[in-house]
Amino acid sequence: MPSAEALNEKKEILIRYRNLLRVCKPRTTRDDKLLIRKAFNLALEAHKDMRRRTGEPYIYHPLEVARISAEEIGLGTTSVICSLLHDVVEDTDYTLEEIRALFGDKVARIIDGLTKISGLFDNKTESLQAENFRKMLLTLSDDVRVILIKLADRLHNMRTLTSMPIEKQLKIASETSFLYAPLAHRLGLYAIKSELEDLAFKHMEPDIFETIFNMVKESEQERKRFIAKFIAPIRRDLAAQKIDNTILARTKSIYSIWEKMRKKEIPFEEVFDLFAIRIVLNVPTEREKSECFNVYALVTDHYRPNKDRFRDWISIPKANGYEALHTTVMSNTGKWVEVQIRSKRMDEIAEKGYAAHWKYKDGNQGESGLEDWLAKIRELLQSPESNALDFIEDFKLNLFSDEIYVFTPKGDLVTLPMKATTLDFAYSIHSHIGNNCIGAKVNHKLVPLNHPLKSGDQIEVITSDKQTPKSEWFDYVTTAKAKAPIKIYVKEERKKHAAEGKSKLKAMFEEYHIEFSTPNLNKFMHFKKITIPANLYLEVYNGTIGYKDLKTCFIEKEGETWFRYLKFPFTKILHPDSSDPSKTKESKEKEKPKTLLLESQVEKISYNIAPCCNPIPGDDVIGLIEKNGEITVHRTNCEPAVIFMSKYGNKVVKSKWVNNDTIRFLAGITIKGFDRMGMIRDITNIISKDLNINIRSLTLETTSGIFEGVLTVYIQNTDQLKTLIDNLKTVTGIERINRIN
Ligand code: MN
């Protein structure tokens, strides 16, 4: 004969079981009900001799977890069954195989996941915990229900945490705030996330929790009066229009009030958004949008809205599916009040997040952002090099950093992490757009690449074919989608530049008649204190290493012996100078001209114009005999030529220009002076109109009123160049003109 107490317990268990069936009812068939009963009976039998720390029968716990899964998260029959059985394999003699035989493979797999992750947090070190969390998420990516049931389990344990010994309370509470609350947040389970945070806070900082809790309570009466007054005219209008509604005043959670006080360093009294008014409309889905806007109009008839704080998440829902109208209005007492307007359906999604989505989507998760997120997590977890600790840090960062929602010019929604910039946005559209991005218009205002974006911004990216990614762009972006292509581009660019620098350096070596050999290259690298050839080439490409360095390294330092670096011995004297005593009679008789006549008809004598000094007709020039017998013409004041002449006069050919009006040579000059209106026009007039000279390029750069210009023109000879310079000197404002050598 069972005791009265036992009978009462049995009665209570049945009451709780019937309550579970009641909350499951909207989504259960007769078969579902039978399965739930089967699971309940098994759990009841398996846990029959067990008690919770509170002294209650153990079955209360799986029953409550099942109720939370169904009612507070919105999960279906499979989850209810798994919730009822979640501790059976771990804590009783039942095996997974028995569960599989009774309930099938799907249920068994979920139970297996739940059993495996349970107790993983018993380890003390951080790294083990992180590794366990990684495992848990691996399991979760097999079936999301595992993690949702785990959250329901944790929520019930947190609600009954007081019965635990104090040190266990602290451990469970910190775990909850460290891992479970952020996880719930990321999954869109807002109500559960807030409750987990508050419960954890309550156990970790009981004094602060109580203080704030009391302050919220003490200010409650005043708040209630204020709210009643505030909503009275809205209520009246809603009633007049016969709109079925519920108006709630939602107070911020204790934990988020504390967060706000701490972050903004303000006292409780200054937390102005302690509560928000929520108007929930019970209207059919097809009318919900128009009704919400109707109610928005009605609210703003009474209170002036802050136009910067209006958010229409109905026309364009948030990436996580959130839908509502948000506005902040000025109350009669001069206090801003946030008002949220949404339908009952929207309200449920807002409270339960993704889980509620599944309910409405009939189990089809195909389009939910959660699937994308899980896919990403799966990728991360499966990559062998991912370190568990790094991973958890990344993961936590992602969890805590809020997202921003911005728009394309066409109004498409783009979700980005907080602190994302215009460049991140450009890359989020396409790597090509990012690579060519030169700036953007944010809300029609021109902004640079590193402009930080805010929720609600509308961004029009401006691109140019000329634009390419720069290494400093790394500092501008936060998203991986932007970082990866920049990295690839910068790396490739480096390679290209190094190759160009190498051929440039080779040409420089050749000009100085230094052999481009490994020993010479090593000597030069050693001289410049560079260890990697690629870095040397890059510096040559950038112009930070040039002729001067080459000269110092090979010519000045080595004094008389510099020629040992020469590529070839100058033994053949093709055009000996008559004054040179070393010349032979034989060569004299060849009747080669003592003076090389340079002109355009190069059929007679072929010559090259030296790129180092770029001589033009009229310049004093000399010819240098190259190894292949070709002659390179330098200006007589050209540095390599001067060195050459001073030592090897007999390998030099005196040269003179033959006048030829039809030939044009490129010459460059720099102009410096004070900028003014019409300066460019005056300069170009002199060049093209007065002197009829063709301009190849003209660039002017002005900094604080001083301009510096580089002009390249096609001219016939030095006389014409001199005339040009003289004429330019007459232009008002031009202070200095120099020819570029
Ligand atoms: Mn449990």
Answer for the pair 623, 653: CB distance below 8 angstroms, yes or no.
yes
Backbone angles phi, psi at 592, to 5 degrees: -75, 145
For residue 238, is pLDDT > 90? Answer: yes
What is the Cα–Cα distance from 458 to 478, expressed in whole angstroms?
19
* SS3 at position 630: coil
Residue-level pLDDT at 365: 36
| β-strand partners of 709 | 671, 700
Distance 271 CA to ligand 1 centre (A): 37
Answer for the pair 313, 292: CB distance below 8 angstroms, yes or no.
no
Cβ contacts of residue 619 below 8 Å, gap of 6+? Answer: 635, 636, 657, 718
**Mean pLDDT of the residues in the chain:** 78
Q: What is the pLDDT of residues 106-134, one digit of tens each?
A: 899 888 878 766 555 444 434 445 555 65
Distance 98 CA to ligand 1 centre (A): 19
Q: What is the pLDDT of residues 257-297, one digit of tens each?
A: 998 888 888 888 888 778 899 999 999 988 999 999 999 99
Q: What is the pLDDT of residues 437-462, one digit of tens each?
A: 988 888 788 888 999 998 767 899 98
Distance 62 CA to ligand 1 centre (A): 7
CA quadruple 239, 243, 245, 248: dihedral positive or negative?
Answer: negative
Residue-level pLDDT at 138: 57
| β-strand partners of 715 | 665
Identify the CATH assignment for 388-488 out of 3.10.20.30, 3.30.1330.10, 3.40.50.720, 3.40.640.10. Answer: 3.10.20.30
Query: Among the options 9, 91, 515, 639, which is catalytic?
Result: 91
Residue-level pLDDT at 654: 64
Question: Is 91 an active-site residue?
Answer: yes
Distance 167 CA to ligand 1 centre (A): 19
In our burial notation (b when 16+ CB lie closer than 10 A, e otherwise), range 498-527 reads beebbebbeebbebbbbebeeebbebbbee
Question: Cα–Cα distances in Å, from 692 out to 381, 435, 715?
Answer: 71, 42, 10
Distance 86 CA to ligand 1 centre (A): 6
Which stretches does DSSP call E strand in 10-117? Answer: none
Distance 71 CA to ligand 1 centre (A): 17
Instruction: Categorise residue 705: left if φ over 0, alpha if ψ from -120 to 50, beta otherwise.
Output: left
Backbone angles phi, psi at 81, to 5 degrees: -60, -50
Task: Give the number of C-alpha atoms closer than 13 A to the C-alpha of residue 104, restricted to the C-beta side.
Answer: 7
Residue-level pLDDT at 196: 95
What is the Cα–Cα distance from 418 to 453, expressed in whole angstroms?
8
Q: How many CB atoms within 10 Å of residue 479?
A: 18
Task: Looking at 512-628, list the stretches that DSSP marks H as alpha helix, in order from N- to C-terminal side.
Answer: 518-527, 533-542, 547-551, 585-589
| Annotated domain spans of the chain | 4-207, 213-358, 388-488, 510-584, 596-657, 665-739
Distance 114 CA to ligand 1 centre (A): 9
Distance 652 CA to ligand 1 centre (A): 97
Answer for the pair 673, 733: CB distance below 8 angstroms, yes or no.
yes
Average pLDDT over residues 550-572: 50
Question: Is 90 an active-site residue?
Answer: yes
Q: Confidence band (pLDDT; 50, 70, 90) for 585?
A: very low
Question: Cα–Cα distances in Å, from 495 out to 430, 469, 505, 709?
Answer: 24, 14, 15, 32
Distance 87 CA to ligand 1 centre (A): 6
User: What is the layout of strands, in order, in the sheet containing 437-442?
Assistant: 445-447, 437-442, 459-463
Distance 256 CA to ligand 1 centre (A): 27
For residue 39, is pLDDT > 70? Answer: yes
In our burial notation (b when 16+ CB lie closer than 10 A, e otherwise), range 325-361 reads bbbbbebeeeeebbbbbbbebbbbbbbbbbbbbbbee
End-to-end CA distance of the chain: 116
Average pLDDT over residues 712-740: 83
Place of tokens 């993690």: 147
Strongest mean pLDDT among 480-489, 632-641, 663-672: 480-489
Q: Confidence band (pLDDT; 50, 70, 90) for 40?
A: very high
For residue 10, give both structure tokens: 């049995």
Least confident of 583-587, 640-644, 711-715: 583-587
Query: Among the options 90, 273, 556, 735, which is catalytic?
Result: 90
Assign domain 665-739 to its CATH architecture: 2-Layer Sandwich (3.30)
Q: What is the pLDDT of residues 187-230, one digit of tens each?
A: 667 889 899 999 999 998 899 999 999 999 988 898 899 999 99
Distance 50 CA to ligand 1 centre (A): 13
Distance 70 CA to ligand 1 centre (A): 16
Distance 667 CA to ligand 1 centre (A): 86
Least confident of 127-141, 337-351, 399-413, 703-717: 127-141
Residue-level pLDDT at 145: 76
Percent share of the chain, pLDDT over 90: 26
* Fold for the domain defined by 213-358: Beta Polymerase; domain 2 (3.30.460)
What is the Cα–Cα distance from 72 to 99, expressed in whole angstroms?
26
Q: What is the pLDDT of residues 672-725, one digit of tens each?
A: 887 777 787 888 888 877 777 877 777 878 776 778 888 888 887 788 888 888
Least confident of 231-235, 465-469, 503-507, 638-642: 638-642
Residue-level pLDDT at 141: 52
* SS3 at position 81: helix
Question: Does the domain made of 4-207 have the CATH classification 1.10.3210.10?
Answer: yes
Distance 150 CA to ligand 1 centre (A): 8
Distance 165 CA to ligand 1 centre (A): 17
Distance 392 CA to ligand 1 centre (A): 24
* SS3 at position 631: strand
Q: What is the pLDDT of residues 53-88, one digit of tens each?
A: 888 899 999 999 999 988 888 777 888 999 999 999
Answer for the pair 650, 576: CB distance below 8 angstroms, yes or no.
yes
